[in-house]
């Protein structure tokens, strides 16, 4: 048939959608040889412009497929609890109607479907060209119908609203052709199961530990992306991680906990078992010590974030605020669950000491001989990722941006890392490097804090060596922390290992403290940085405190930062209802 041939797609109440085959930026290129890419390319060519009488035509179509293979096993006290192998293909089809200036996204209902659904979920695992095209056809049909209705609802909502900012809904981007190699997940499942079982048995040697678990997930996959603008992407993705979580109860009933995680983009490069054993044993010793530690008291004064705590604080308090959000159009009376960045509107202002710099660099794959977790080539929108200077000499220069325009910024800098809300993609950092041109030895940081205490007549200061970020708390604990927050800023995770440091250098571990009023503006009060640097890796999921296990998607991130001394922060005891202790002690272990 000719290039103007018409096809008929089913529509509710018998309405038809005509799709004409037009020339796209891909038409002059050689068709992909990968059967999945070929099916995506050919079906998009057929369906890239849909039309219904009197309604908007799509101006942008996006086909994305996540093809993943994973193995997961969990164990507790030497016994395997779960074990599974999963291969999946998840499609993500987006149709935008309207134009770049105004479309169906950035609206409270922009990410929802309306009317009849195709009923299609996961794609088949076989590389069946015809079946994949049929799935894409039905998903495109459903997405188009939903987009048309969302645009109509958005226009209706705007009749009763006045927007303070007239921003475009989508930014242009240069089409990218990137077809990278594909890697397969090749592992010895039994060997990994035995390793997890053995690691979980370590906690049996710590009778004070009430609950514990060790969870392993090894993953490898491919991300496919084809758009009507001409972008074609095939890039390897996937992450492997092992994490242990454990908790105990202090004599007054307070729950204390710790967690340790190991991550890698390559399952073969996950930490050695000996290193994992040391980390898990240290976590068990931390929890045991916390059960014997006294409760913390109200405190305001200098706080030293030492080692990994410095990187954790910069990840949570700085890194998350380098993402600019955009309040969606909502129906009258709806808030939209929008949380603004604490740094919004502060570009060009000093947010850190003038001797500090911040760079996000997804192109750097190693640091001091160790692979970096946050490395990637292309983001989820098909924009190539490049190094980005975020803060220079303490001054905020830019933010992490996607193709969703935000106040003051129109285009993307390749930081779309996860699916976002309201039909958009969410930004995230990759390898975030915080450096200082003026540093002091770590021991001098502590002396400097003690000198500050003496001048203020305080008997002790606080050193934090580990934060609960990402948090291993329960959903109920997180809910209580969020509802009890005051002061107008987003809450900061709890310090897990916090020590009183007295004038003679003596240290005392305390428990049950939380920060109050600690936000991005507090970072201007950093008075000194250590000459050390610690790499902290974690899986970002945009949940409060990056709660472990929350969210359906994660982005691999790494923060490299020195120890930090902040001039004045407030800590207060956590106010919570304490659970009762077990009525009887744990059973004796039969050897």
Structure tokens at 29: 């290129």
pLDDT at residue 490, rounded to an integer: 79
> Parallel, antiparallel, or unpaired for β 232-237 and 177-179?
parallel
In sequence order, the 6+-apart residues with CB closer than 8 A to the CB of 340 are 325, 327
pLDDT tens-digit series, residues 13-22 = 333 333 322 2
Which residues are paired to 246 by β-bridges? Answer: 212, 258
pLDDT tens-digit series, residues 318-371 = 999 999 988 888 876 665 567 889 999 999 999 999 999 999 999 999 999 999
pLDDT in tens, the chain (591 residues): 333 333 222 323 333 333 322 233 333 344 468 999 999 999 999 887 677 777 888 999 999 999 999 999 999 999 999 999 999 999 999 999 999 999 999 988 766 554 434 445 788 899 999 999 999 999 999 999 999 999 999 998 888 777 767 899 999 999 999 999 988 999 999 999 999 999 999 999 999 999 999 999 999 999 999 999 999 999 999 999 999 999 999 999 999 999 999 999 999 999 999 999 999 999 999 999 999 999 999 999 999 999 999 999 999 999 999 999 888 888 766 655 678 899 999 999 999 999 999 999 999 999 999 999 999 999 999 999 999 999 999 999 999 999 999 999 999 999 999 998 888 999 999 999 999 999 999 989 999 999 999 999 999 999 999 999 999 988 888 888 887 765 556 789 999 999 999 988 899 999 999 999 999 999 999 999 999 999 999 999 989 999 998 877 899 999 999 999 999 999 999 987 777 888 777 777 666
pLDDT at residue 418, rounded to an integer: 93
pLDDT at residue 113, rounded to an integer: 53
Segment (H or E) for 187: none
Distance separating alpha carbons of residues 73 and 189, to the nearest angstrom: 9
Q: Which residues of 247-276 are buried (b: 16+ CB within 10 A; e: fewer)?
A: bbbbeeebbbbbbbbbbbbebeebeeeeeb
pLDDT at residue 11, rounded to an integer: 28
pLDDT at residue 7, rounded to an integer: 26
Nearest partner of 34 among 26, 23, 42, judged by Cα = 42
pLDDT at residue 591, rounded to an integer: 64
Distance separating alpha carbons of residues 444 and 465, to the nearest angstrom: 16
Q: What average pLDDT does the structure give for the chain? A: 88
Residues in the chain: 591
Distance separating alpha carbons of residues 46 and 84, to the nearest angstrom: 38
pLDDT tens-digit series, residues 451-497 = 999 999 999 999 999 999 999 988 888 888 887 765 556 789 999 99
pLDDT at residue 22, rounded to an integer: 29
Distance separating alpha carbons of residues 436 and 28, to the nearest angstrom: 50
Q: C-alpha distances in angstroms, 418 versus 87, 380, 421, 425? A: 20, 7, 10, 6
What is the edge-to-edge ordering of all strands in the sheet holding 534-540?
Answer: 395-396, 388-392, 356-360, 431-436, 555-561, 534-540
pLDDT at residue 522, rounded to an integer: 96
| CB-CB contact of 500 with 512 (8 Å) | no
Report residue 360 CA to chain centroid gap.
15
With tokens 């088949």, the residue in question is: 124
Between CA 23 and CA 363, with CA 25 as vertex, the angle to 5 degrees is: 160
Catalogue the E-assigned strands of 52-173. Answer: 58-76, 79-97
């Amino acid at each position: 048939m000719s290039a103007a041939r018409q096809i008929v797609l089913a529509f509710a109440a018998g309405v038809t959608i005509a799709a004409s085959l037009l020339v796209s930026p891909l038409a002059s290129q050689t068709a992909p040889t990968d059967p999945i890419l070929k099916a995506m390319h050919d079906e998009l060519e057929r369906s890239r412009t849909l039309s219904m009488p009197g309604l908007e035509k799509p101006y942008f179509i996006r086909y994305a497929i996540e093809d993943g293979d994973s193995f997961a096993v969990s164990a507790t006290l030497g016994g395997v609890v779960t074990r599974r192998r999963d291969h999946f293909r998840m499609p993500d089809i987006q149709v935008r109607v309207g134009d770049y200036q105004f479309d169906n996204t950035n609206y409270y209902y922009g990410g929802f479907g309306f009317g009849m659904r195709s009923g299609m979920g996961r794609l088949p695992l076989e590389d069946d060209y015809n079946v994949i095209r049929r799935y894409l056809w039905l998903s495109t049909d459903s997405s188009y119908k939903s987009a048309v209705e969302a645009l109509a609802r958005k226009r209706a909502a705007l009749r009763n609203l006045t927007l303070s900012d007239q921003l475009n809904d989508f930014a242009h981007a240069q089409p990218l052709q990137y077809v990278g190699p594909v890697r397969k997940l090749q592992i010895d499942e039994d060997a990994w199961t035995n390793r997890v079982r053995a690691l979980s048995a370590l906690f049996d040697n710590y009778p004070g530990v009430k609950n514990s678990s060790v969870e392993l997930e090894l993953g490898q996959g491919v991300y496919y992306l084809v758009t009507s603008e001409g972008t074609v992407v095939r890039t390897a993705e996937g992450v492997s991680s092992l994490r242990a979580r454990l908790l105990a109860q202090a004599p007054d009933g307070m729950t204390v906990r710790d967690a340790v995680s190991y991550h890698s983009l390559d399952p073969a490069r996950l930490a050695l078992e000996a290193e994992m054993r040391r980390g898990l044993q240290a976590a068990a010793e931390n929890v045991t010590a916390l059960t014997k530690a006294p409760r913390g008291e109200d405190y305001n004064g200098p706080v030293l974030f030492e080692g990994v705590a410095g990187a954790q604080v910069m990840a949570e308090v700085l890194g998350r605020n380098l993402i600019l959000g955009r309040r969606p159009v909502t129906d009258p009376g709806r808030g939209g669950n929008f949380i603004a960045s604490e740094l919004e509107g502060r570009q060009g202002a000093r947010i850190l000491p003038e001797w500090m710099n911040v760079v996000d660099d997804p192109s750097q794959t190693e640091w001091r001989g160790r692979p970096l977790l946050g490395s990637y080539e292309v983001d989820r929108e098909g924009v190539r990722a490049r190094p980005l200077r975020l803060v220079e000499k303490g001054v905020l220069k830019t933010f992490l941006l996607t193709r969703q325009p935000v106040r003051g910024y129109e285009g993307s800098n390749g930081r779309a890392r996860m699916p976002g809300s309201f039909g958009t993609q969410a930004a995230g950092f990759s390898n975030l490097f915080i450096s200082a041109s003026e540093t002091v030895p770590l021991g001098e940081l502590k002396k400097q804090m003690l000198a500050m205490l003496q001048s203020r007549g305080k008997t002790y200061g606080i050193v934090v060596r580990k934060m609960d970020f990402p948090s291993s708390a329960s959903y109920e604990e997180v809910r209580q922390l969020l509802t009890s927050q005051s002061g107008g800023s987003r809450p900061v995770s709890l310090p897990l290992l916090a020590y009183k440091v007295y004038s003679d250098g003596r240290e005392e571990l305390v428990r049950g403290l939380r920060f109050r009023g600690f936000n991005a503006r507090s970072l201007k009060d950093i008075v000194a940085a250590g000459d050390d640097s610690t790499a902290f890796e974690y899986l970002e999921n945009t949940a409060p405190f990056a709660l472990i296990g929350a969210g359906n998607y994660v982005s691999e991130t790494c923060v490299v930062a020195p120890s930090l001394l902040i001039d004045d922060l407030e800590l207060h005891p956590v106010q919570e209802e304490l659970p009762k202790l077990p009525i009887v002690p744990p059973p004796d272990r039969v050897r």
